[in-house]
C-alpha cells in the first residue's frame, strides 16, 4: 500500500519528529531513554512511530488506526547484511518521513525489505517511477550507484507487470487515492509545525532541523 503520488512526495507536511535518532515526549520536554543492565542509561531510538503516523495520514488513514498486521517499512536505507552500519538514510531528517521512502506492508513481509536485495531494488524502482524521487547521501556512495541504476531505467526481469516501468506510466495496485482526509491532515500538520516553531513551550523541538528540511523540500507553512 502506497500513498497517493499526487501531492509532493516530501512527507514533511505530516512530519512531527524529524529525526529517528532521538525520541521525546509530546511536549519535547523529556527525552526517552533506555535503562540497561547495570544501571546504564542510553538514548532511546525513535522506533518508526512518527514515520508510521506520517504514512497513515498520507494515505487518509486515521492516526488512531493500529493495523497490528501492517508495518511501515523504509524503501531506501543502507544495505548492510550484518546490520552494523548506521542507517544514515533513515536517520536523515529529510527522508525519515518522506512518503516516497515508505511502504505499508503486511507484517510477515517486513523482513523482505530489510534483507532481500531483489525486493529492495524492485520497491526502489517502483517508488522512483511513482514519485520521481531518489535519495542523495554523500556518506553512502554505494547508495548513489544504486540510485543511478534505478534512474537509468533498469528493471529486473521478475519485476511485477502491474507496477510502473517508467516515470508517470501508471500506479501500482494498492495506491490510496487523494481525498479530503489527506488534504485536511496536511493542513493540520502544517499548523502544528508552525505552532511549534513559534512557541517556547517545546524546549527541545528541533527548530533548526525542521526549518532546514522545510527549505529542502520547498514547503511553505
What is the Cα 19 distance to its own chain's centre? 10
Q: Which long-range contacts (CB under 8 A, 24 or more apart) does 134-139 make?
A: 134/76, 135/76, 135/89, 135/92, 135/95, 135/101, 137/88, 137/89, 137/92, 139/88
Strands (E), 26-140: 33-35, 41-43, 70-74, 102-106
CA of 184: how far to CAs of 17, 96, 135, 160, 178, in Å? Answer: 19, 22, 27, 33, 11
- pLDDT of 23 reads 58
- pLDDT of 149 reads 96
- pLDDT of 12 reads 40
- pLDDT of 78 reads 83
Task: Record the cell numbers describing residue 218, joined without a space.
Answer: 520547498
Angle 180-198/49-58 helices, nearest 10 degrees?
Answer: 140
- pLDDT of 172 reads 93
- pLDDT of 19 reads 43
In the chain, how long is the greatest CA-to-CA distance? 56
In percent, how much of the chain has pLDDT > 90?
Answer: 31
Cβ proximity of 101 and 51 under 8 Å? no
CA of 156: how far to CAs of 78, 110, 121, in Å? Answer: 20, 21, 8
Task: Record the cell numbers describing residue 9, joined without a space.
Answer: 512526495
- pLDDT of 111 reads 87
- pLDDT of 87 reads 81
- pLDDT of 10 reads 43
Task: Record the cell numbers describing residue 1, joined without a space.
Answer: 500500500
Nearest to 149 by CA among 171, 170, 178, 120: 120
Residue ranges of the chain with per-residue pLDDT less than 70? 1-47, 82-83
Amino acid at each position: 500500500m502506497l500513498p497517493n503520488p499526487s501531492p509532493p512526495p516530501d512527507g514533511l507536511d505530516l512530519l512531527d519528529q524529524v529525526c529517528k535518532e532521538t525520541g521525546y515526549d509530546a511536549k519535547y520536554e523529556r527525552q526517552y531513554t533506555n535503562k540497561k543492565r547495570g544501571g546504564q542509561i542510553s538514548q532511546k531510538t525513535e522506533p518508526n512511530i512518527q514515520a508510521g503516523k506520517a504514512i497513515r495520514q498520507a494515505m487518509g488513514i486515521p492516526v488512531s488506526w493500529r493495523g497490528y498486521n501492517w508495518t511501515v517499512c523504509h524503501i531506501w536505507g543502507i544495505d548492510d547484511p550484518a546490520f552494523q552500519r548506521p542507517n544514515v538514510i533513515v536517520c536523515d531528517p529529510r527522508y525519515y518521513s518522506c512518503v516516497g521512502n515508505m511502504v505499508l506492508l503486511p507484517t510477515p513481509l517486513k523482513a523482505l525489505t530489510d534483507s532481500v536485495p531483489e525486493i529492495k531494488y524492485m520497491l526502489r524502482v517502483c517508488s522512483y517511477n511513482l514519485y520521481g524521487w531518489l535519495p542523495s547521501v554523500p556518506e553512502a556512495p554505494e547508495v548513489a550507484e544504486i540510485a543511478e541504476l534505478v534512474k537509468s531505467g533498469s528493471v529486473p526481469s521478475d519485476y511485477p507487470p502491474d507496477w510502473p516501468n517508467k516515470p508517470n506510466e501508471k500506479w501500482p495496485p494498492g495506491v490510496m487515492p487523494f481525498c479530503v482526509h489527506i488534504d485536511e491532515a496536511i493542513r493540520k500538520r502544517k499548523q502544528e509545525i508552525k505552532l511549534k516553531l513559534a512557541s517556547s513551550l517545546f524546549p527541545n523541538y528541533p527548530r533548526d532541523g525542521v526549518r532546514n528540511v522545510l527549505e529542502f523540500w520547498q514547503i511553505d507553512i
